[in-house]
Amino acid sequence: MLKCFVVMGFGEKTDPGTGRLLNLDATYRHIIKPAAQTAGYDCVRADEVLHSGVIDIPMYEMLMDADLVVADVSTSNLNAMFELGVRYALKPRSTIVIAESKFNNPFDVNHIVIRRYTHLGTDIGFSEVGRMQQELTELMKAIQQSDAPDSPVYSLLSILQPPLRKGKQDPMKGSGRDGPVAQDETYAAQWQEAMAARAASDFIKEKSILLAVYESQAAKSGEDENAARPRVIRELAFATYKIGDEELKTNPSAAAAAYEEAISFLQMLDPDQTTDPETLGLWSGVHKRRSALPGRSAKDRFADLDTAIYAAERGFLIRQDYYTGINLAYLFEVRASISSGENKIADRVFANRVRRRVVDAAEKALKLLREQFEQTEDRGTKVMTLYWPQATLAEALIGLDDPRGEIELEKAKQMEPAEWMVEITLQQIEDLKRMREA
């Protein structure tokens, strides 16, 4: 079967041009892969090849040997840009470039055709999925019948001939064995297992799976190119501090140790300098938790809160999203509750200013997402996607003393999300009410 190799980022990435969070996995699952399969291609992305060992060799082999390469350069992903350049150098034709509609190309590539699609952030609208699938499928079929070059290298330097090599190994085969890689050996499969554990509130299992992925990717001495991916480190930190949350009621010392371990993971991502909103959100969240540990000194508590607020402010400035905003507002309330005079007043004013922006952001997100998921039969994905903007809207309105808040909170509960999601929401609202009454 013809092979299609997909060049793009994984998971959720922030578009540096707009600050929006785009779920690139949704683009791959709902648009690229189905279109390729309809056009007669066996479609694979790098995370569907063996996750262990050095990924560079199979990646270059796929760039060389794939019958078709689709490159999604949304969010200006540097790896995708680099791999696209390698493909253009190796092959004169059979390369398709796509990007999200608001993508602003940082390079002078006006001579390269980039096909656009519209992303809603967490997912892609039903009609847009159908439109872009059809466009890609038709283009893929047309490419099979065409000899025209699409690489700017071969288009502009017509004297070039593509390189040849004596033999080739199927990059879908691994570890010296014949046959396809077993599904449970792939990075993608382990990731799905970890996310399933999270949905079931089994953070110990999630951490165990992610730790195995992390250790397989972690840099060996002098081999920086084999370093663990930031996404793995972020999710490992999240699972670790969620374990700390579960320990907090019965074993505060174990909770403190979990928070410290989460902090040590995030320090690998340089949280003081990063502009990645996901890293900033986690850095803020774990310091918020550590500030509330029993026995924490007043000085250390203020230091943790200052760190948490500064990280949340940076994240909210970049992303302007409801989730970061509601946590920032809550942190202002926490600091106000242990402050006095002008500092107390200032933090409460800042909290309400942020909440008003959060209400607007959450209402807009809910409107878009409800339209998007109106026809979906995947209840789990629908609940996971809609719950947080609904719960955030409720908390923001309650913080503003708006009577609509309790009504919106009931709507969130009726979605029947995972137990830990509801517990987080109710605990934060209960703490907020207690602080506002003090």
Identity at 314, one-letter amino acid code: R
Tell which residue, 216, 171, 212, 173, has the closest CA to residue 193.
212
Cβ atoms 432, 330 nearer than 8 A: yes
Instruction: Please give the helix or strand (H or E) that residue 329 lies within, else none.
Output: helix 322-337
Tell which residue, 372, 373, 371, 411, has the closest CA to residue 391.
411
Three-state SS at 220: strand
Residue-level pLDDT at 161:
83
Residue-level pLDDT at 375:
60
Residue-level pLDDT at 240:
96
Tokens 């078709």 belong to 68
Task: Give phi and psi for 116, each to the nearest 5.
Answer: -105, 150
Three-state SS at 361: helix
Cβ atoms 193, 170 nearer than 8 A: no
Cβ atoms 171, 54 nearer than 8 A: no
Count the neighbouring beta carbons within 10 Å of the beta carbon of residue 82.
Answer: 11
Query: Distance between CA atoms of 78 and 9, rounded to whole angstroms?
Result: 9
If you ran DSSP here, which 8-state letter would residue 106 be given? S
Residue-level pLDDT at 175:
36
Residue-level pLDDT at 52:
43
Bridge-based pairing of strands 21-23 and 12-14 is antiparallel
Give residues with Cβ within 8 angstroms of 410, minimum separation 6: none
In this prediction, the residues of the chain whose per-residue pLDDT falls under 50 are 50-54, 169-185, 219-226
pLDDT tens track for 152-181 = 888 878 788 888 766 554 444 443 333 443
Residue-level pLDDT at 367:
85
pTM (two decimals): 0.65
Dihedral angle computed from the Cα positions of residues 63, 66, 72 and 75, in that order, rounded to the nearest 10 degrees = -20
Cβ atoms 2, 140 nearer than 8 A: no
Label residue 379 exposed, middle or buried (CB < 10 Å: 0-12, 13-18, 19+): exposed
